[in-house]
Amino acid sequence: MPLIIVRNDITKMKVDAIVNAANKSLLGGGGVDGAIHRAAGPRLLEECRRLGGCETGEARITRGYELPAKFVIHAVGPIWRGGFFGEKEKLASCYRNSLKIAEENGLESIAFPLISSGVYGYPKEKALRVAEDTIREFLAETEADMTVYLVIFDRASLDIGKKRFKEIEEFVGDRYAKSHGDSASYFAKRRESLNRPEYSYSLNNSMLDGANKEVEECCEDASASIALNAEAAFDSAGAAPTPAKPKASANAKPSGAAPSISNIGRTIDELLDESFSDMLLRKIDERGMTDSECYKKANIDRKLFSKIRSDRLYKPSKPTVIAFAIALELDLNETNNMLMKAGFALSHSNKFDLIIEYFIKRGMYDVFEINEALFAFDQQLLGA
């Protein structure tokens, strides 16, 4: 049940329902409202007349008629008056009521415009925050399988903040330029060439470091356990008392019986042979998360997660792997290790990868915030 940002004309969306940013009369108007009425044809207006209007913050449903969408949900957003007249609450109510109507009617996909951000004057950045927060809260609570699209007409409509955009641009530009041996800023030279990510399958040192770290910790724990248990066995056999034993490492895990060398080898082999699915499920357990908490936080559809869980050799896409790494709040080494399990790697030759690295290095693990940046740079989004 992901939230997906798309750049499109909402009247062209092939979904169960599109949301119309309507006025109180529901009889059409300018902007998105007028465009939807024109695309749907005169029968939409006839049905809207029978509804008798709609109050601000509320929503009504009609058929879609000549639209690709089966239904239109008409939501009346607030007019911006400086934010002092309950605009935020009324706007959030538009999204909540529209989603409830979709859920009650068994709809599986719904597309929203950025309600009130046009002629009603609601600042786009603030309108986006309300939309994302409300939709995210609904998706986290509902049991319905629903895909929600937030339809942005152009990139200028999505403001991720001038300071943040500039920081990401500089971070990506500097590292991209170095990886290509280019002393000039990448974005200064090729600002127009923001393409989809090219997937890299090569290993790098940080990936190997992540894998080695897990193996080393396993060996240290097993070795400490063997030493302690062997010493205890020697003492119990009647040997002379030994000096007080040094305390085990804080990382050492308690163990009943000393593991054999073959068991240590098997444990290491299991780590090395661990599939992406194996590692994902292990990390979910280590984080104390439930499956639903993880896939919702990753913006991943439940059906896709079920496939991954049931097939340990499942091969996910690169954005799917990264979405789970973000949900689990993995550091860069752990993220690279998880990517390696699926046959991918992060590269400084790839703008998509560099944007991901920017957020991970700063400990910023909000998948929707990351998707805003990816969208602004014309990159593929996280989640599915």
- Catalytic residue numbers, as ranges: 33
Helix (H) and strand (E) counts for the chain?
15, 6
Spatial distance between the Cα atoms of 239 and 274, rounded to a whole number of angstroms? 42
**Torsion of the alpha carbons at 371, 374, 378 and 380, rounded to the nearest 10:** -70
For the record, the structure tokens of 10 come out as: 């909402």
The bridge status of strand 109-112 relative to strand 147-152 is: parallel
Q: Which structure tokens are listed for 48?
A: 């809207």
Q: What is the DSSP string of 250-267?
A: TTPPP-SSPPPHHHHHHH
Alpha carbon separation from 63 to 36, 60, 231 (Å, rounded): 12, 11, 78
Beta strands in the chain (DSSP E): 3-7, 17-22, 59-63, 71-76, 109-112, 147-152
What backbone torsions phi and psi does residue 38 show, to the nearest 5 degrees?
A: -65, -40
**Which two tokens mark 234?**
């020697």
Query: What is the Cα 333 distance to its own chain's centre?
Result: 19
Amino acid at 249: S
Look up residue 37 and give its amino acid: H
What are the C-alpha distances in Å from 20 to residues 1, 27, 59, 130?
21, 11, 9, 17
Residue with tokens 């059906």: 303
Interatomic CA distance for residues 51 and 381, integer angstroms: 38
The total number of residues written for the chain in this structure? 384
Query: What is the residue type of 376?
Result: A
**Cβ atoms 332, 357 nearer than 8 A:** yes
Token digits of residue 191: 């600002």
